[in-house]
Amino acid sequence: MKNYLYDYQKSSFKIKKDNDDTIYYLNVDHNYIEVNEEIFKVFKASYDKLRYTYKQEVANSVSHYEDIDLATSFFIKKNESALYNLLLKDITDLILDEIDQLKNKDREIAKYYFIYEYNISEISKKLNIPRKTVEYRKNKIQKYLQKIVKDFCHFDD
């Protein structure tokens, strides 16, 4: 998996307003150096783009309960063997059982998102809870289900 620890972090960018002047700084080797506005904006835009891309990759890594984790993506190949079909059925049943055992709101979120493939906004409207809450709970559920699948498949052995 790609390492998303970049050279820059949120704290690598500093803007200081002094009267009518704005001074821009970048953190390089634990020292802030002054740069002009154009350079600052290029680096900041690049950093923001990397963060956005990573966030999108994470958000889209699970779009369906059969595709619960990148680590299990090799199961979703066009393979017609009986063993493949049994394993896929076992994983699917495991995930559905785990979803059924979640608390009421989490179970509803998981079913709407992973089974019925509603997006976050649709779930938020349907359940009448804030979008951020739905997104937070979905991420917690996703991590929990990923751990269950990894344990079931013995990926850590």
Confidence of residue 23 (pLDDT cuts 50, 70, 90): confident
Q: What is each CA distance from 136 to 88, 120, 132, in whole angstroms?
A: 28, 10, 6
Mean residue pLDDT of the chain comes to 77
Record the pTM: 0.48
Q: Which residues contact 151 (CB under 8 A, 6 or more apart)?
A: none
Dump strand ranges (E) for the chain: 13-18, 21-28, 31-35
- Rounded Cα gap, residues 56 and 136, in angstroms: 15
For the segment 97-127, what is each residue's pLDDT rounded down to a tens digit? 999 999 999 999 999 998 888 999 999 999 9
For the segment 32-45, what is each residue's pLDDT rounded down to a tens digit? 888 888 887 888 88
User: Amino acid identity of 48?
Assistant: D
- Rounded Cα gap, residues 98 and 145, in angstroms: 8
Whether residue 59 is predicted with pLDDT greater than 70 in this model: the reply is: no
- The pLDDT, as a whole number, for residue 27 is 81
Confidence of residue 61 (pLDDT cuts 50, 70, 90): low
Confidence of residue 46 (pLDDT cuts 50, 70, 90): confident
The C-alpha angle with vertex 62 and arms to 154 and 56, in degrees rounded to 5, equals 125
Query: Is the dihedral angle over the CA atoms 15, 49, 120, 103 positive or is it negative?
Result: negative
Main-chain phi, psi angles of 31, to 5 degrees: -130, 135
Answer for the pair 114, 138: CB distance below 8 angstroms, yes or no: no
Average pLDDT over residues 121-146: 93
Output DSSP code: residue 72.
G
Confidence of residue 57 (pLDDT cuts 50, 70, 90): low
- Rounded Cα gap, residues 39 and 25, in angstroms: 10
